Amino acid sequence: MNYKWKEGSRPPRISANVAGVELERIRAKHGALTSKAILDESRPKDAALHKAFQWDDSKAAEAYRLHQASTLSRSIVVIREDGGIEHRAYSLVTKNDNVRKTEYVPSEIVAQRVDLFADAVGRLESKMREIGQSIRDLESLAKRESADPERMARISMAAKALETASAAIAGLH
């Protein structure tokens, strides 16, 4: 089997084929592929996936805390006093103020600024493409494993709904 890194992913310093073969070896050895099994099997310096991980504890701990901060920022929602629609308090945007950087901006500001709103729409379109790929993957698996007409019809319905949603989002620009 051949492997490649998903488009838009940040591949580690190893080839996708090396990673794919090693992940399958770990799954076969442990009976299931879990994050803990992958990490444990990758600890030895000569392990195939060792280079995919940050082993410097000070850097890894900082990266984990940055991940926690990001999760925290994405988890806060605003509930309007009048009981109106709640929404995320902050939105992740990419700013190009001489240096390209991402930051969390109050969602109300994102809605008001054309450049930030366009960035948010672009991020949403990217997520929709990811969902589309997931539907195509599921459809491919369903066709190969079983030709259950009801299952295929539901997958097709999901694909059409996604197309409709994607077209509506594209119109936001």
Using DSSP bridges, classify how beta strands 87-88 and 77-78 pair: parallel, antiparallel or unpaired: antiparallel
Q: Is the model more confident about 84 or about 134? A: 134
Q: State residue 101's pLDDT score.
A: 83
Tokens of 14: 């190893």
H helix runs in the chain, sequence order: 16-30, 35-42, 57-75, 107-112, 114-145, 149-170
Q: How far is residue 131's CA from residue 10's CA, in Å, rounded to a whole number?
A: 18
What is the residue type of 144? R
Q: State residue 17's pLDDT score.
A: 92
Are residues 74 and 124 part of one domain? Answer: no
Cross-strand bridge partners of residue 97 = 99
Are residues 113 and 45 part of one domain? Answer: no
Q: Is the model more confident about 4 or about 58? A: 58
Tokens of 84: 């109106």
Are residues 153 and 84 part of one domain? Answer: no
Domain boundary residue, one of 68, 88, 108? 88
pLDDT tens per residue across span 144-161: 877 788 888 999 999 999
What is the number of other CB atoms lying within 10 angstroms of the CB of residue 110? 20
**Coil, strand or helix at 46:** coil
Query: Helix 16-30 vs helix 35-42: angle between axes, to the nearest 10 degrees?
Result: 110
Confidence of residue 78 (pLDDT cuts 50, 70, 90): confident
What distances in angstroms separate CA 86 from CA 7, 74, 89, 137, 154, one per listed residue? 32, 13, 9, 33, 30
Mean pLDDT of all residues in 102-131: 92
Q: State residue 145's pLDDT score.
A: 76
Are residues 62 and 17 part of one domain? Answer: no
Are residues 152 and 125 part of one domain? Answer: yes
Q: State residue 173's pLDDT score.
A: 80
Are residues 95 and 165 part of one domain? Answer: yes
Boundaries of domain holding 61: 55-88
Q: Count structural domains, the chain.
A: 3
Q: State residue 24's pLDDT score.
A: 95
Confidence of residue 85 (pLDDT cuts 50, 70, 90): confident
Are residues 82 and 113 part of one domain? Answer: no
The pLDDT mean for the chain works out to 90
> With 80 as the cut, is the pLDDT of residue 100 above it?
no
Are residues 17 and 32 part of one domain? Answer: yes
pLDDT tens per residue across span 34-50: 999 999 999 999 999 99
Are residues 164 and 100 part of one domain? Answer: yes
Each as own residue / partner, the long-range contacts of residues 112-116 (CB below 8 Å, 24 or more positions apart, any chain) are: 116/91
Are residues 104 and 163 part of one domain? Answer: yes
Are residues 158 and 95 part of one domain? Answer: yes
Confidence of residue 87 (pLDDT cuts 50, 70, 90): confident
Are residues 164 and 123 part of one domain? Answer: yes
Tokens of 135: 């539907």
